Amino acid sequence: MRGAIRHERLRLGRRPVGDRVPAGEGFCFDETAVHRMRREPGSGATVTAHAHSPPLGWVGQYGELADHLLNRVPTSSEEHLAPKDYQ
């Protein structure tokens, strides 16, 4: 295995805080966490797998609008997660 992700907790008006998660390592968080995962800079191609227990019915995707506001798009857990048009 190779690659790494950056798991970040989002904060209003401040930079996110997070940790590097190397390939093959897992992590947990509770349902109150507003978070994001992204490729760790310099780590090359990375793939993630997500498992939830109990299963989620709805998830949310967040994006930054042109005016830097954070926007949430509720998404069915059955829908493929893909970048959304936040404009």
Q: Is the per-residue pLDDT at 6 higher than 70?
A: yes
The tokens for 42 are: 């310099």
Residue pair 57/77 in contact (Cβ under 8 Å)? The answer is: yes
pLDDT of residue 49: 82
CA distances from 71 to 29, 34, 65, 74 (A): 22, 12, 7, 10
- The answer to whether the Cα torsion of 11, 72, 19, 27 is positive or negative is positive
Domain ranges for the chain: 1-49, 51-87
pLDDT of residue 85: 59
- Give the residue carrying structure tokens 């950056």: 6
Q: Is the per-residue pLDDT at 1 higher than 90?
A: no
Q: Is the model more confident about 83 or about 3?
A: 3
| Residue 3: count of CB within 10 angstroms of its CB | 16
Q: What is the pLDDT of residues 48-85, one digit of tens each?
A: 887 877 777 777 777 777 776 767 777 777 776 665 55
Q: What is the pLDDT of residues 11-49, one digit of tens each?
A: 877 888 889 999 888 888 777 677 888 888 888 888 888
